[in-house]
Amino acid sequence: MPISFAVYQLRIAQEHDMIASLYTDLSDPDAFCSGFIEQVNSRHVLLAALTPWGFRDGWLLWRVADVRQVFTGDEYEARLEMLTKLRGETHTPLISEPPPPDADLLRWLLDWAREQAVTISILTSDESYTGRVILADDLRVTMETFDFFGVKNHRATVLLMRDVESVMIGTEEEKMYDLLSASPVIGITAPHRLEDGKEPT
C-alpha cells in the first residue's frame, strides 16, 4: 500500500476520532494493533492502543513505512468502540501539547520521555530495550536500560535513530519494569546461572 494512502487513511481516522487497526505483516493476521490515532505525519504514527477487550493499553509509535494495511469501521473496530463505551474508557492524549506540523515525531516523543523521566521500550529489528532516555539527537538515542529483573544496567545503551522501528509507552511491559525497578522484593534474587556443570553457590 502506498505510504501516501496510509497517511491519508490515518489522518481521516485521527480527524474523526475513529478506532483504526494497523497491520504490519499481511501474511500474519495477528500482526496488528488497534486504537486511536493521536499523531501522524509522513514518517511516523502515534497510536493510543486498545486491547481486544476494549481496555487502554498505552501508546505505540510506528514507522508509517511499516504499516501495510489500515482498517476502520469494520466489525472488529465497531465492537472495540462499543467495548470502550461500555467500559467508560476515554481517549486522553499522551501529551497535551501537540507537536509542530513539521516535527519529527520520533524525536519529539523521545525528548518528552527524557524530560518526564518516563519508562519506554524501543524495538529494533533484532532486539527490544526498556528503560529511560538519557539523550536523543538526530542520529542517536542513549538509554539507561533495565535487565530482565528491573535492575539498571551499568552501561548506557546507544541506538541509531534509523534502527528504531517502534516505541512503546505505558503498556504492561513498561509498567512491569517500573514496578520491578522501584519496589525490590526482599528475599528474591535473580537465579544463579550454571557454568561448566557446577551447582549454584
User: 79-108 b/e with 16+ CB inside 10 Å = b?
Assistant: ebbebbeeeeeeeeebbeeebeeeebbbbb
Residue 168 domain-assigned? yes
The reply to whether 62 and 143 lie within a common domain is no
pLDDT (mean) for 109-122: 97
Residue 60 domain-assigned? yes
* Listed residues 72, 91, 110: the one ending a domain: 91
Q: What domain count does the chain have?
A: 2
pLDDT (mean) for 65-83: 95
The reply to whether 106 and 178 lie within a common domain is yes
pLDDT (mean) for 155-161: 97
How many Å apart are CA 38 and CA 162, to the nearest integer? 22
pLDDT value of position 98? 86
Question: Taking 80 as the threshold, does the pLDDT of residue 168 lie above it?
Answer: yes
pLDDT value of position 4? 76
pLDDT value of position 170? 96
Average confidence score pLDDT of the chain: 90
Instruction: Say which residue, 187 or 132, is predicted with more confidence.
Output: 132
Reported pTM: 0.87
Instruction: Say which residue, 182 or 33, is predicted with more confidence.
Output: 33
* Predicted confidence band of residue 192 (pLDDT cuts 50, 70, 90): low
Range of the domain at 47: 1-91
Residue 191 domain-assigned? no
The reply to whether 4 and 52 lie within a common domain is yes
pLDDT value of position 199? 52
